Amino acid sequence: MLKPLTADTLAALPGIAHGFFTRHGGVSQGDYASLNCGLGSKDDPAAVGENRARVATFLTACSLITAHQVHSATAVIVERPWSVEERPRADAMVTAERGLALGVLTADCAPVLFADSQAGVIGAAHAGWRGAESGVLEATLAAMEKLGANRQHIQAAVGPCIGQPAYEVGWDFEQEFLRQDAENARFFVRQAPDARPHFDLAGYAAHRLAQAGVGSVPRPVPCTYARADDFFSYRRSQTRKEPDYGRQISAIVLT
């Protein structure tokens, strides 16, 4: 059975359905068990299709779409469903179309869902460190405003992603963020003075939203790396030397 996580603030909005879906409730087998929704994985396409259909049904959506994610800051306005072959290369989508669910695929990156229920505009963004740093969250907000959303009315929620204890990065990675803003030092910790830094992706995403004038839902963000029973994780698959990995989906729809 599908039992997605939800954000209280988004759940309270009228005319909005959403979910940060776990890996439970699907039909995929083996390393992909069971709700793998990743079109780019090597899983059985029929199983992936069934999993995505289950998510659409759960959300009472007419269609569920995802983009060809490339770790960019590109946000697109969606006016109709598209086929797998038509997927744009983008990392955020916004729409004012009812029944059209916007999905984000992740396996350590942060999914972020947005909604302005008063304007009837929603958004979904794939925020890895590169996309978040280059402005994918701000691009999502700007695209929503083009459809009539009011930033003061937008609610946002950051979903499950890799947690800081598991997200070891290089010194050059840290320096890139510090060159951008010295205050970004708050998103890095070390277990010892000479140890490699660990990055707080969820905290950084929430910070970027706050800077843009949108507060993210204050909720603990589960770690995809640490919770192998519940979430797929690219980094965990690399640590275990697995040949491939699944992707969980986070989605939102105007009902």
pLDDT of residue 215: 81
Query: Has residue 93 been placed in a domain?
Result: yes
Per the CB < 8 A criterion, the answer to whether 93 and 124 are in contact is yes
Is residue 76 situated within a structural domain?
Answer: yes
Q: State how far the alpha carbon of 158 is from the alpha carbons of 54, 147, 171, 203, 242, in Å.
A: 23, 22, 26, 9, 27
In the numeric block, which tokens belong to residue 35?
Answer: 């709700």
| Distance from C-alpha of 209 to C-alpha of 213, rounded to nearest angstrom | 6
Query: What pLDDT digit, counting tens, does each position of 41-93 carry?
Result: 999 999 999 999 999 999 999 999 999 999 999 999 999 999 999 999 999 99
- CATH number of the domain encompassing residue 110: 3.60.140.10
> Over the chain (255 residues), what is each successive 10-residue block's mean pLDDT?
94 97 98 97 98 98 98 98 96 98 98 98 98 98 98 96 98 96 97 94 96 82 97 98 98 98
Q: Is residue 137 part of a domain?
A: yes
Per-residue pLDDT, 217: 72
At residue 191, the pLDDT reads 87
Query: 58 lies in a domain?
Result: yes
Neighbours of 126 (CB within 10 A): 27
pLDDT in tens, 52-64: 999 999 999 999 9
**Based on C-alpha coordinates, what's the Rg of the chain?**
17
Closest CA to 119 of 91, 98, 134, 101: 98
Number of structural domains in the chain:
1
Domain presence at residue 3:
no
Q: Which amino acid is residue 10, in one-letter code?
A: L
Using DSSP bridges, classify how beta strands 155-158 and 110-116 pair: parallel, antiparallel or unpaired: antiparallel
Q: What is the pLDDT of residue 216?
A: 76
User: For position 87, what pLDDT does the model report?
Assistant: 97
Residue 217, CA atoms < 13 Å, CB-side half-sphere = 23
Residue 218 has a pLDDT of 66
Predicted TM-score (pTM) of this structure: 0.98
Instruction: Count other C-beta atoms under 10 Å from residue 187's C-beta.
Output: 21
Residue 195 is assigned to a structural domain of this protein: no
Q: Cα separations (Å) of 135 from 34, 109, 166?
A: 32, 15, 24
Q: HSE, CB side, 13 Å, CA atoms: give it for residue 145.
A: 12
| Residue 174 placed within a domain | no
Q: What is the DSSP letter of 215?
A: P
**HSE on the CB side for 251, CA within 13 Å?**
32
Angle (nearest 5°) at CA 70 between 94 and 196:
115
> Is 84 within the bounds of a domain?
yes
Tokens of 231: 């979430």
Residue 147 belongs to domain spanning: 8-163+200-254
